[in-house]
Amino acid sequence: VVSHERQTNIMDDIAAPATLNTCLYCKRAGRPSSGNEHIFPESLGNQELTLPKGTVCDTCNNGILAWLDNALVNFEPIIFMRTLFAIPSKAGKVPTASFADMKMVRKAGNRVSLHLQGRGKGFRPRPAGFRLGFHGHRYTLKRRRALIRSFYKIGLGLIHYDHGAKTSMSTMFDSVRSIILGTQIDFSGFLAFSREVKPELRCYAQYKFVPTTRGVMTPFEVTIFGVHFLFDLQQHGLDNPEILRDHGFIVLNSES
């Protein structure tokens, strides 16, 4: 379900001190690390893309990172697609997606049952895909921040997977580390996601390191079952979200 080609580029030359059993997220050394960290949550069907034992400590993996994964897999656009594709949760349960206008229940076999109510009765799936009717303003500040952080977690995991500790442990990513862990609560950042969805049974990501006059940007595009997500790992706020909105994206901000 999850695919990712290792990327290499200029950032491989950024040096960080050699690390051994130092946690990618809290940078603490010598903590127990008994399992593989899943870069994309297991509840998205990810068995393939993991970080080896010793990369992430148990405290982070079973604590804050599990909490962020949970926020992500229960995000409405994602739970909608998980239901559509019958992707079971970690506990093996296929989700039911419940919305104000619609309820979606996975049936035995390859079937989904839609129950429309209220405005949802106008819902018409189109052959090429469909349009998500979610509204960003319904999300509280706390929830928006948790969702953005859950994507930062994936982003830093992928950078480690591609480039190893010498890049991922760079001080350049220390600020995003403290945001992921929740020790830095206030930050500038955004998460945009596409309204237009062409369902596909896979998750993948791409990103670039872009040198700018004000430091490096790391824009990511993560696609989860056909929903496109955009964010920047350097926690840049978005000056002109209307451009993304004009292109059919919903933009969530980390600020009130």
**Contacts with Zn ion, residue ranges (CB under 5 A):** 23, 25-26, 57, 60
**Other CB atoms within 10 A of residue 92 CB:** 7
Q: Which is nearer to Zn ion, 26 or 79 (CB)?
A: 26
Q: How far is the CB of 25 from Zn ion (least distance, A)?
A: 5
Alpha helical stretches, state H, the chain? 58-62, 64-73, 76-85, 141-163, 165-168, 174-181, 241-246
Q: Which is nearer to Zn ion, 57 or 227 (CB)?
A: 57
Q: How far is the CB of 107 from Zn ion (least distance, A)?
A: 41
Handedness of CA 50, 51, 52, 53 (dihedral sign): negative
Q: How far is the CB of 124 from Zn ion (least distance, A)?
A: 47
Q: Which is nearer to Zn ion, 175 or 223 (CB)?
A: 175
- Which amino acid belongs to residue 237? G
Q: Which is nearer to Zn ion, 133 or 164 (CB)?
A: 164
- What whole-number distance in Å separates Cα of residue 83 and Cα of residue 21? 37
- What whole-number distance in Å separates Cα of residue 196 and Cα of residue 231? 17
Measuring CA to CA, which residue among 55, 31, 19, 26 is closest to residue 178? 26
- Which amino acid belongs to residue 19? T
Residue with tokens 């978005």: 238
Q: Which is nearer to Zn ion, 57 or 147 (CB)?
A: 57
Q: Which is nearer to Zn ion, 20 or 91 (CB)?
A: 20
Using CB atoms within 10 Å of the CB of residue 133, give its burial: 0 to 12 exposed, 13 to 18 middle, 19+ buried. Answer: middle
Kindly provide the residue ranges of all beta strands, DSSP E only, lying in the chain, ordered along the sequence: 37-38, 50-51, 97-98, 102-107, 111-116, 130-131, 190-194, 196-197, 203-207, 210-212, 215-217, 219-224, 227-232, 249-253
Cα end-to-end span (Å), the chain: 35
Structural contact between residues 98 and 87, judged by C-beta atoms closer than 8 angstroms: no
Q: Which is nearer to Zn ion, 23 or 230 (CB)?
A: 23
